[in-house]
């Protein structure tokens, strides 16, 4: 497998544009390439902005979701490349699993590597896993799996069935109510660089078949972890399923339940009960 | 051999109190600041006990809703009062527990012999409340302030958007849950199956008890008129079950069985209260009475966010700890002052103490604390009648209860229980 080392983070706006014009005529197998960056330093101002937008405490330890800020642009570069078999516009983030192997401090130089694997069949299309690993001083400290669904796409013959479900308890106890404002997508786009038009405004979201702009799943996940601040183990697995889109603006509730030294969580619409995110948080 | 590690302590005496009548938000005190009200209240206490130009050991007070400029609220109030300017002061804040916590702090210093006298107090205004600029605008203004060149200043100014201008108004909501305190209380009311009628009954009793206490002059030496008000303007002497039963629920909305109305919940209120504490010797030297002593106190906190306990249930946990330390049972008291944040809170608190399963499972007690004689509860009215200026409630209760115990006679005992935001609770024992 070939590893390409980039010396800076790719520009996500340009990648979305490139992916849009090269969306047609994709297919075949996943590319046999990995993208990497070495010695990446976290920008303290960016970390502060991220923590603020996600409602997380700012400290010298990276939030569990923060390394995704570093690896996501590389994954986007991989997915927008012509060799990637699925068209980026219309890809839906359906599951995200993060494992923090140990607390990662904000000043540690980090080595990143991302790749795609496990193109699998799903009842409404094909699912691909975008993987990422982060190391510090040669030791793996963080890894993630982001599963994306391409509606209407077909997985190659003999592909396994996709596994995107996360099972949780009944989650009847609401512990917080959040008003999610209509600019939540723009705010997170500003710090994450994830300028996918479905998050930015009603108009741009409509162009992709959504009735209104929708919140970034990774933002919701980060907010959930913010609500559990102080009650998370250093080494932790956070596995969430993005079920139904969270339309902006909305009022949503967070329900939590203690399980196996960790938590089950659910974010639902306050009125309709529509489930946006369910997940598990477990000590590693 | 004598234990020399523990300093000799004494019990702090409660000499008396003074408060201004409490006023519903945006009414009589709409133009008064926290400092205005606290200063006036201290001066009322000074007048009552002849403290003019006296240097006291310490003045301890606080406010829950506080302007940034009021960082030294209590000291500034002392400087503006008739007390000697050489009286030290400091601020405390424990949400609705502030006033009682201030009294405990003053009492503890007296108990340790570090001071001979002190004032504990609290004040809050929901009318002259601090408005904050939005976080976005605040950041722009900070960078504007830090800009060195005209160009940098223009750059900072250019970041201002119309949407940033709307101010942030303080809400009576828990930061971590986004729920109003009343909505939290509604969850607890539902869990403990507290009915609408018993809540309304408690509210009516509070109004009637307080109105009767005013009528017989009980508050004459506890309250000083302020800005044209001589009684709490939330007080409804003619309150009745019929009237209260017509009100629609305001908390726990969306639940057809919601029970909490504006009538059985405290309104937003402005006001201030103070209590004079001292050593017995200091009181005697100054020819002042001793109404009661502050015997002991205890705080507790519950995990209302993820732990499944009700936001206002912490006093339930604090009580058995304090009772055990003093070798007392819940029935060993002549008067009970359970702060009426909401009628349902008082009822849920008592129900929890009576519940064998809760007392065993949550409080670790072999037998429940048991019932309280209702005829001894909030006998001169409480927060549902007077209103509840958050930090001022503790001082109102301490002064009121100390006077009741003094009237009852030597050896009589009173119990205080106050719930506070953030899942906290403060309880205390007074004895005459």
End-to-end CA distance of chain B: 33
Domain A1-164 has CATH 3.20.20.70: no
Taking the CA of residue A209 and the nearest CA in chain B, the distance in Å comes to 28
- Determine the Cα–Cα distance for residues B410 and B415; give it in Å rounded to an integer: 15
Structure confidence at residue B142 (pLDDT): 84
- Which tokens is B427 given? 């309880």
Class of domain A165-284: alpha beta
Taking the CA of residue B22 and the nearest CA in chain A, the distance in Å comes to 32
Residue B149 pLDDT > 90, yes or no?
no
Mean pLDDT of all residues in A35-54: 95
- Number of CB pairs < 8 Å for A and B? 22
Residue ranges of chain B whose CB lies within 8 Å of a chain A CB? 135, 176-179, 305-306, 308
- Determine the Cα–Cα distance for residues B360 and B352; give it in Å rounded to an integer: 11
- Determine the Cα–Cα distance for residues A58 and A226; give it in Å rounded to an integer: 10
Locate the chain A residue with the closest alpha carbon to B306: A175
Average predicted confidence (pLDDT) for chain B:
93
- Determine the Cα–Cα distance for residues B186 and B252; give it in Å rounded to an integer: 5
| Residues in CB range of B361: below 8 A, 6 or more apart | none
Structure confidence at residue B169 (pLDDT): 64
Check CB contact of A176 with chain B, cutoff 8 Å. Answer: yes
* CB < 8 Å to B135, chain A: 52
A195 vs A279, more confident = A279
DSSP assignment letter at A13: H
Structure confidence at residue B172 (pLDDT): 67
CB contact under 8 A, A256 and B306: yes
- Residue extents of the structural domains in chain A: 1-164, 165-284
CB contact under 8 A, A175 and B306: yes
Residue B1 pLDDT > 70, yes or no?
no
DSSP assignment letter at A253: E
Q: What is the DSSP string of B113-181?
A: TS-SEEEEEEEE-SSSPPPB--HHHHHHHHHHHH--SHHHHHHHHTT--GGG-SPBPP-SB-TTT--BH
pLDDT tier, B254 (very low <50, low <70, confident <90, very high otherwise): confident
Best of A172, A173, A175 to disrupt the B interface by mutation (most B CBs within 10 Å)? A175
The predicted-structure confidence for B310-336, as pLDDT tens digits, reads as follows 999 999 999 999 999 999 999 999 999
Phi/psi at B167 (5° precision): -75, 160
Phi/psi at B37 (5° precision): -70, -40
> Which of A3-7, B72-76, B412-416 shows the lowest mean pLDDT across its residues?
A3-7
Structure confidence at residue B256 (pLDDT): 86
- Determine the Cα–Cα distance for residues B124 and B271; give it in Å rounded to an integer: 6
Residue B414 pLDDT > 70, yes or no?
yes
Class of domain B181-216+294-431: alpha beta
The length of chain B in residues reads 432
Residue B68 pLDDT > 90, yes or no?
no
- Determine the Cα–Cα distance for residues A254 and B222; give it in Å rounded to an integer: 46
pLDDT tier, B103 (very low <50, low <70, confident <90, very high otherwise): very high
Out of B135, B176, B308, closest to residue A176 by CB: B176
Mean pLDDT of all residues in B82-91: 97
B426 vs B132, more confident = B426
Mean pLDDT of all residues in B365-376: 97
Structure confidence at residue B129 (pLDDT): 73
Residue A43 pLDDT > 90, yes or no?
yes
Locate the chain B residue with the closest alpha carbon to A229: B176
CB contact under 8 A, B178 and A178: yes
Structure confidence at residue B3 (pLDDT): 55
Check CB contact of A258 with chain B, cutoff 8 Å. Answer: yes
Best of B139, B178, B191 to disrupt the A interface by mutation (most A CBs within 10 Å)? B178
Locate the chain A residue with the closest alpha carbon to B305: A175
**Closest by Cα among B235, B241, B234, B236 to B201:** B241
Locate the chain A residue with the closest alpha carbon to B135: A52
C-beta of residue B419 within 8 angstroms of C-beta of residue B394: no
Best of B161, B175, B177, B186 to disrupt the A interface by mutation (most A CBs within 10 Å)? B177
CB contact under 8 A, A175 and B177: yes
* CB < 8 Å to A52, chain B: 135
pLDDT tier, A232 (very low <50, low <70, confident <90, very high otherwise): very high
Structure confidence at residue A244 (pLDDT): 95
What percent of chain A lies above the pLDDT cut of 90? 76
């Amino acid at each position: 497998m070939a590893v390409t080392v980039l010396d800076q983070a790719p520009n996500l706006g340009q990648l979305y544009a490139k992916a849009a014009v090269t969306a047609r005529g994709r297919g075949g197998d996943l590319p046999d390439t990995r993208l990497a960056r070495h010695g990446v330093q976290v920008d303290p101002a960016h970390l502060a902005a991220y923590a603020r937008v996600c409602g997380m405490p700012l400290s010298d330890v990276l939030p569990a979701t923060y390394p995704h800020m570093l690896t996501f642009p590389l994954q986007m570069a991989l997915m927008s490349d012509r060799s990637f078999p699925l068209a980026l516009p219309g890809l839906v983030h359906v599951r995200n699993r993060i494992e923090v192997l140990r607390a990662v401090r904000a000043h540690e130089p980090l080595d990143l590597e991302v790749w795609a694997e496990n193109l699998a069949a799903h009842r409404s299309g094909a699912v691909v896993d975008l993987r990422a690993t982060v190391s510090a001083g040669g030791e793996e400290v963080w890894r993630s799996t982001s599963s994306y669904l391409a509606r209407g796409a077909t997985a190659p013959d003999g592909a396994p069935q996709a596994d995107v479900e996360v099972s949780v308890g009944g989650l009847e106890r609401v512990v917080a109510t959040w008003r999610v404002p209509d600019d939540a997508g723009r705010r997170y786009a500003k710090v994450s660089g994830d300028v996918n038009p479905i998050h930015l405004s009603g108009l741009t979201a409509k162009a992709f078949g959504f009735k209104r702009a929708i919140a970034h799943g990774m933002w919701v996940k980060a907010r959930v972890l913010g609500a559990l601040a102080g009650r998370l183990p250093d080494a932790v697995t956070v596995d969430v399923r993005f079920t139904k889109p969270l339309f902006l603006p909305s009022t949503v509730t967070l329900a939590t339940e203690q399980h196996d030294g960790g938590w089950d969580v659910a974010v639902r619409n306050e009125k309709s009960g529509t489930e946006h995110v369910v997940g598990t948080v477990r000590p590693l | 051999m004598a234990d020399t590690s523990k300093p000799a302590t004494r019990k702090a005496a409660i000499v008396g109190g003074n408060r201004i009548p409490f006023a519903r938000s945006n009414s009589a005190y709409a133009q008064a600041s926290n400092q205005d009200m606290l200063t006036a209240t201290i001066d009322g206490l000074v007048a009552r006990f002849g403290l003019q130009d006296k240097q006291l050991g310490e003045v301890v007070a606080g406010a829950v809703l506080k302007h940034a400029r009021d960082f030294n609220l209590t000291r500034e109030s002392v400087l503006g009062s008739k007390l000697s300017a050489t009286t030290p002061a400091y601020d405390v804040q424990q949400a609705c527990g502030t006033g009682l916590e201030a009294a405990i702090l003053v009492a503890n210093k007296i108990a340790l012999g570090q001071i001979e006298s002190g004032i504990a107090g609290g004040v809050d205004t929901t009318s002259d409340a601090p408005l904050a600029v939005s976080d976005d605008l605040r950041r722009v203004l900070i960078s504007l302030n830090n800009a060195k060149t005209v160009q940098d200043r223009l750059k900072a100014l250019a970041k201002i958007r119309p949407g940033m201008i709307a101010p942030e108004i303080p809400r009576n909501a828990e930061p971590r849950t986004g729920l109003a305190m009343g909505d939290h209380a509604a969850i607890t009311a539902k869990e403990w199956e507290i009915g609408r009628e018993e809540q309304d009954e408690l509210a009516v009793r509070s109004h009637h008890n307080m109105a009767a206490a005013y009528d017989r002059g009980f508050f004459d030496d506890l309250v000083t008129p302020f800005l044209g008000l001589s009684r709490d303007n939330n007080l409804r002497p003619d309150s009745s079950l019929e009237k209260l039963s017509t009100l629609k629920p305001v908390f726990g909305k969306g639940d057809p069985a919601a029970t909490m109305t504006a009538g059985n919940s405290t309104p937003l209120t402005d006001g201030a209260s103070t209590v004079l504490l001292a050593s017995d010797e200091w009181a005697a030297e100054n020819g002042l009475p001793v109404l009661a002593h502050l015997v002991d106190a205890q705080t507790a906190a519950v995990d209302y966010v993820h732990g499944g306990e009700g936001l206002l249930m912490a006093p339930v946990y604090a009580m058995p700890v304090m009772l055990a330390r003093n070798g007392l049972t819940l029935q060993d008291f002549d008067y009970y002052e359970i702060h009426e944040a909401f009628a349902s809170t008082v009822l849920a608190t008592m129900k929890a103490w009576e519940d064998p399963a809760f007392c065993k499972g949550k409080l670790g007690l072999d037998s429940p604390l048991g019932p309280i004689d209702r005829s001894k509860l909030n006998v001169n009215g409480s927060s549902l009648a007077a209103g509840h200026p958050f930090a001022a409630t503790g001082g109102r209760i301490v002064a009121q209860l100390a006077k009741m115990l003094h009237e009852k006679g030597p050896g009589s005992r009173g119990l205080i229980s106050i719930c506070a935001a953030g899942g906290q609770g403060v309880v205390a024992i007074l004895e005459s």
